[in-house]
Structure 1
Amino acid sequence: MVSFTILLFFAVSGLTLNHADWFTSGKEVVTKDSGSVNLKWVNQADTNKLNKLQIVEFFRGKHEVKGALSDFRIDDREVSLTFNGPGYLADSFIDRETGKYELTTTRFGAVAVINDLHKGRDSGKAWSWIIDISAVLMTLVSISGIILICFIKKKRLSGFIIAAVGTLVCYLIYKLFVP
């Protein structure tokens, strides 16, 4: 049943990935916020002394920003932060002179979350393990099916013929239609 659940998830998310236009039209929600951070956090000549953790936790606490910090850039005029998660993106730009910031948060909807989980994008180490374990389970189920067909004399030949035809059809479709 675990393999069934895994197979169902990856089958459905494979369909939503392959036909994203069917499922994602108008589903994203964008919110914008602004405010100011403590000027001491961003207005220092030595950018190595900026307390990055304090800035990140400010946005997590005040605006409930989620996802992993994927980018933290500092230049002469601004500090920019990007947070990514499955179906989620948050960008913040902080003016280093004034401490004023603009935060844009985009939620792409449930289908985007499923698609990102399918690909393992922005989903963290734990989800990466789930994908790996799922792949191993599906491989074992597939191999056990091949082994079982070997022991059923009446179905063995037709089973292997069907497997070979399926493999050949997939290969031909790939060769004919994939540039």
Structure 2
Amino acid sequence: MLNAKKPIRFYLGSVREWHWISSAICLVGMLLFSITGITLNHAADIKATPEIITKEAQLPAQILAAISVPDAEQAPLPETLRAWLADTQHIEVHKQLAEWSEDEIYVSLPRPGGDAWLSIDLASGELTYELTDRGWISYFNDLHKARNTPEVWSWFLDFFAIACIIFCITGLLLLKRYASGRPATWPMVGLGLVAPWVLLLLFIH
């Protein structure tokens, strides 16, 4: 009898361990995505006033003289120019592709929760930078959608999604194990499965 129960105990112990580990990993992420799910669902009702910051500056003559227009219409900014922007103007431009013409450089710098752009007049060296900040709610909403986020954030979302799948599957296995003592288990699971389909069929065509 004891030997027969050992595999079951090992199985339940493994499921419980995976369940609590995945729940710990998912806890903060699930709260964040649940809250931003509500804010996204009511985005039209949440009013926000964007904050716009504009900078104007003059490129040093030596940096302007060192800029040569590339053959391609799109190419990154020269490293010396990127360093000058970061050090003196506190504008971070990494290796985003800029749009080059004979007389102007234009860089689009979208980001979560806002937008930005940079323009340089190649004749005069005049620099114009504009940053639009739409606030924290917009920032977290964009993180929810992975909008204008780096690739590493997409990797995190993949990892988070896998952890959520493990959490749900192990939860289902634990429900199966204890369902006999809780008659409402499967009706509740069925409700969670059927309710979205009923809403889709009745109200969304």
**Common fold: TM-score over 0.5:** yes
Amino acid at match of 2:133: R
Quick one: distance in 2 between partners of 1:99 and 1:19?
Answer: 44
* Residue 61 of structure 1, CA deviation: 2.5
Question: What is the number of residues matched between the two proteins?
Answer: 176
Residues 1:136 and 2:158 are matched in the alignment: no
Contact 1:67 1:84 in 2 (8 A): no
Contact 2:110 2:116 in 1 (8 A): yes
* Residue 65 of structure 1, CA deviation: 2.4
Quick one: distance in 2 between partners of 1:80 and 1:86?
Answer: 20
> What is the CA deviation profile of residues 12-55 of structure 1, one whole-angstrom value per residue up to 9, with x for unaligned ones?
111111212343421x210111122232244x465569852333
Q: Secondary structure at the match of 1:85?
A: coil
Which residue in 2 is equivalent to 1:57? 83
Instruction: Between 141-150 and 79-88, report the one with greater CA deviation.
Output: 79-88
Aligned residues with identical type, % of pairs: 20
* Residue 150 of structure 1, CA deviation: 0.8
> What is the CA deviation profile of residues 92-111 of structure 1, one whole-angstrom value per residue up to 9, with x for unaligned ones?
11112111121101112111
Quick one: distance in 2 between partners of 1:66 and 1:11?
Answer: 31
Contact 2:69 2:101 in 1 (8 A): no
Contact 1:72 1:80 in 2 (8 A): yes
Which residue in 2 is equivalent to 1:30? 52
Gaps of at least 5 residues in structure 2 are 1-23
Which residue in 1 is equivalent to 2:19? none
RMSD in angstroms over aligned alpha carbons? Answer: 2.5
Please identify the structure whose Cα radius of gyration is greater.
2
Residues 1:2 and 2:25 are matched in the alignment: yes
Which residue in 1 is equivalent to 2:143? 117
Which residue in 1 is equivalent to 2:65? 40
Matching residue within 152, 174, 178 for 2:200: 174
Contact 2:104 2:121 in 1 (8 A): yes
TM-score, scaled to structure 1: 0.83
